[in-house]
Amino acid sequence: MAIADLNYVLKLFGGADVSEDHLNELFQEVLLMTLARAADADISIQHVEVERIQEILKEHTGKDFSSADVRVAARAELYAEASLVKYLRGAQKKLSDAQRTQVVQALADVFRSDSTVSGLEIDFFNNVVSALDVTPAQIAGLVAGDV
């Protein structure tokens, strides 16, 4: 996916609607944007984080993303019009509970990939969880009726 393909999130933020047919693309863009920004949350993008993001993106989307895709999506200039949190708040209404939970769980995975979790990363995580309106039970994988 080229970085220019972030048009569904940007379109949604601009007030346009995303059709049912394109909700999966919206999920992929939200996942890429969130994980890429996460790599830069502590002001230091580690190579191991970029590699883990690439693996997670492949697991969740079936698509390959280059390290350049990840690094470009992490750049602050992309978020000049609005913060990632604002983009996520707009997208969360269109994403399913399962998709929002996947983004948050993948985010935790990225933060654990370099064996040190900083206070900045914890703040970033909490902001994403709030913006995506994910509950503690969803984060823990608890679903009513499941054992």
Q: pLDDT of 81-131, one tens digit each?
A: 568 888 899 889 889 999 999 999 999 999 888 778 889 889 999 999 999
Of the ranges 42-46, 59-63, 71-75, which is most confident? 59-63
Count other C-beta atoms under 10 Å from residue 117's C-beta. Answer: 14
Total count of domains within the chain: 1
Contacts of 105 (CB under 8 A, 6+ apart): 139, 141
CATH number for 12: 1.10.3680
Q: Indicate the pTM of the whole model.
A: 0.81
Q: pLDDT of 11-25, one tens digit each?
A: 666 666 666 777 888
Count other C-beta atoms under 10 Å from residue 13's C-beta. Answer: 16
Structural domain contains residue 132: yes
Judged by average pLDDT, the poorest of 17-21, 77-81, 139-143 is: 77-81
Structural domain contains residue 145: no
Between CA 32 and CA 39, with CA 33 as vertex, the angle to 5 degrees is 90
